[in-house]
Amino acid sequence: MNTESQNIEFKESWRDEYLKWICGFANVQGGMLYIGIKDNGEVCGVQDAKKLMEDIPNKVRDMLGILVEVNLKEKDGKQYLEIATETYPYPISFRGKYYQRSGATNQELKGAALDCFMLRKQGKTWDGVPVPYLKVEDLDNATFDLFRKYAKRSGRMDDTDLMDDNHGLLEKLRLYEGDYLKRAAALLFHPDPERYVTGAFVKVGFFREGMDLVYQDEVHGNLFQQIIKLMDLLCTKYMKAIITYEGIHRIETLPMPREALREALLNACINKDYAEPSPIQIRVYENKLEIVNGGVLPDGWTVKTLLSSHRSFPYNPDIANTFFRSGEIEAWGRGIERIIMACKKDGFSTPEFRYDASGIWTIFNFKYPERATIQDDPKTAQKSDQKATRKRPESDQSKQEDAIIELLKENPYITRKEISGLLGLHDSSVKRRLASLQEKGAIKRVGPDKGGYWEVQKGF
């Protein structure tokens, strides 16, 4: 006899309270409830088997409103019952309460979990729920401009759609439910989505071994802004780059590929269960980075499912569709595969994935590729680099400006201080280069100094 699992439950004798277990099976993938079997799978037999075969289907029908199949089984001269329950497409309750099978346990659904369950049974998702009082005028114009830029580059939307006003663009992205904007619109385009969704931000902390918190940050704003800010924060403040040299050129190697980190952050934001008030958490240590996303896998899925070829099944499909149109993600359930491929391609260790009660974990163990540990004589190289920096001719200005343009393309919200740190230039030099690029018409500042962004003009 099999052991208890997601789809199997053993009971030594029948009690009417076990209708809760049948309810739990009906609300997920169905299952088998065996009467007359101990927890260890040993058949102990059941009394009045024939009477129970008549009573149980009637009680299930009267109390739950569904039908089950009750079969009489026998082993070693002992009779037991098999109650087969099919999954039902609509919610099933027992005495006004809803239950759901999770692993080998039967759980009563309450609060946010019950809301999500009801939505799912109606063919809806959390991010598709309409939000009263949210108007298109409340959304962030700078983020719309950024989305149009991304989407034009990706080629996943028609130019005519991108030329439409914000209202029309939201309709094209299917972010309206009737006359109301969806929750997804608030998370994607509102400057402060936490007005509508508690916990719609990210906490980042640096820890020593033993779980001692050294310092921390919070990243707020809409999801497009969060991804940009997180990439900058993690790459410039939280992770140490190995410095190597090729001649006089300084090369910084992070302990993971930027592409893999970005994909992992996008996965976390897109698949988070925003009905839960806790934010996404990113924990950085000397030797690893952990992303803890309070997400929920589809029924029956495991980490093994994620790591194998699987269909696209985003927890928040409206959010996922908008990120897809912007070119930020693929649509075919390849997020995990892309993370692993990026790490392998650049010689990094493969990340770990875990799923438990706290959510979905992505764990990058810091192991630098071999090339990052092989360098020229660092003292000689550093001296050469410093000397070259002091004597850098003015003709290098174009190279610096080209490098700044590439940074602005990657992150329009990047600050002058961050550019200075990434390129190894003095702040005053960065200020001059930005002014020069503006005079040439290569870049334009959109919005205020704080909160605005850089826009690289066409042709540069």
Buried residues in 158-182 as b, exposed as e (16+ CB within 10 A)? eeeebeeebeebbebbebbbeebbb
Q: What is the DSSP letter of 194?
A: G
* Sheet (strand 176-177) strand order: 130-131, 180-182, 176-177
What is the reported pLDDT for 120? Answer: 82
Looking at domain 392-456, which of 1.10.10.10, 3.40.50.2000, 2.90.10.10, 3.30.9.10 is its CATH number? 1.10.10.10
What is the reported pLDDT for 230? Answer: 95
What is the reported pLDDT for 199? Answer: 92
CATH class given for the domain over 202-308+327-372: alpha beta
**Average pLDDT, consecutive stretches of 10 residues, N- to C-terminus, the chain (460 residues):** 79 94 93 93 91 94 94 92 93 93 86 83 89 95 94 94 96 95 97 94 90 91 95 90 70 87 94 91 94 82 80 88 93 83 89 89 84 49 43 61 86 84 80 90 85 84
Assigned fold of 8-123: 3.30.950
> What does the alpha-carbon distance between residue 57 and residue 133 come to, in Å, rounded to a whole number?
48
> Domains of the chain: which residue ranges?
8-123, 128-190, 202-308+327-372, 392-456
What is the reported pLDDT for 383? Answer: 46
pTM for the model stands at 0.70
What is the reported pLDDT for 116? Answer: 81
> What does the alpha-carbon distance between residue 231 and residue 167 come to, in Å, rounded to a whole number?
29
What is the reported pLDDT for 362? Answer: 95
